[in-house]
Amino acid sequence: MLTLLKKIFTWWNRDTFGTKIKTILYGKLVGKDAFGNKYYESKKGKRWVIYSGEIDASKIPVEWYSWIHFTSNKIEKNHELKKYDWQKPHQPNLTGTESAYYPNKNKKINEKKYKTWKN
């Protein structure tokens, strides 16, 4: 029972009941990405994504970002852009986690950035 209520009322865990109905009635599956996210489009041109796992907008990779935001209507046949050796793989937003970026992680907190000129 709790799972059903969670499905109906919470949008941050998975797609809601309303989104599921809309997807069944109006959505046409356009494709899937490497993370398992599914991309849909309606006949009127509205586009949306059903995330696999927890909902996080930063989980949309570059290949699909331009499509979902109408920057480019062209969809690559296999949805794989040419990747170079220097490009890092896509990562979701890591803010608030152990892996988050901290600019002064290795420096001492009380270390002065300047030298005083008066003695």
Per-residue pLDDT of the chain (119 residues; tens, 9 = 90+): 667 776 666 665 667 777 888 888 999 999 998 888 999 999 999 999 998 877 778 888 877 888 888 886 565 555 556 778 888 777 777 888 888 887 766 655 556 667 777 76
In the chain, count H helices and then E strands.
3, 3
C-alpha distance across the termini of the chain, in Å: 72
Whether the CB-CB separation of 75 and 30 falls below 8 Å is answered with yes
DSSP 38-60: EEEE-TTS-EEEE-SSS--GGGS
Cα-based distances in Å from 91 to 64, 78, 118 = 14, 20, 48
Mean pLDDT rounded to a whole number for the chain: 77
Measure the CA–CA gap between 56 and 25, rounded to whole angstroms.
24
The pLDDT value recorded for residue 76 is: 55
Q: Where are the alpha helices (DSSP H) in 10-103?
A: 17-26, 62-68
Measure the CA–CA gap between 79 and 75, rounded to whole angstroms.
7
Measure the CA–CA gap between 101 and 89, rounded to whole angstroms.
16
